[in-house]
Amino acid sequence: MTFRDETATGKSLRSFDVPDVPDSITVRDLVRLRVREEVARHNAAPSTHYTGLVRPEDADPDGSGYRLRSVRRLEWEAQADVACRAFERNGFFVLVADRQVESLDDVVDLTAASDVAFVKLVPLVGG
C-alpha cells in the first residue's frame, strides 16, 4: 500500500510504501498504522527534522515538515492520538480509491485501492 500526502489541489507532496496492510481496516487504524510507520522511519535515524502527518509536541513548521528543537525519538502512540484528533477537527482528510472517508470508525476495503491519499488542510490567515 502506498500512502501519499497531497495538497488540496491534488499536487503530490510525498509518498511511501507500507507493507502488509490488511484488506479491510478502520480509518482510525489506517491513520495509526501510517503514523506508526513514519515515526519508526524517523526513529531509525533521529534528526531535528520530522516529515510526518502531524506536528510533534515542541516542534515548529519547517517547509516540508517540522523542526524539532533537539534530536530525539518520537512516541508513535502520542503522534497517532494527535493525528486522530486532527482528523476529527478536519485538519486533514483521507481519500481511499478517490473517495473521501467521513469517520475514523468507517471501515475501508483496500483490495481495490493501491494508495491512500492524506490531504492536509492549511488554515487561512485571519479566518
| Residue 127 belongs to some domain of the structure | no
Burial status of residue 87 (CB atoms within 10 A of its CB: 0-12, 13-18, 19 or more) = buried
Look at residue 54 and give its three-state secondary structure.
Answer: coil
> Residue 123 pLDDT > 70, yes or no?
no
Reading phi first (left if > 0) and then psi (alpha if -120 to 50, else beta), residue 10 is in left
Which tens digit of pLDDT belongs to each residue from 47-94? 999 999 999 998 998 888 899 999 999 999 999 999 999 999 999 999
Could you tell me the pTM of the whole model? 0.91
Q: Residue written as cell 488554515? A: 123
| Residue 125 belongs to some domain of the structure | no
| Residue 90 belongs to some domain of the structure | yes
- What's the pLDDT score for residue 127? 41
- Number of structural domains found in the chain: 1
Range of the domain at 7: 2-120
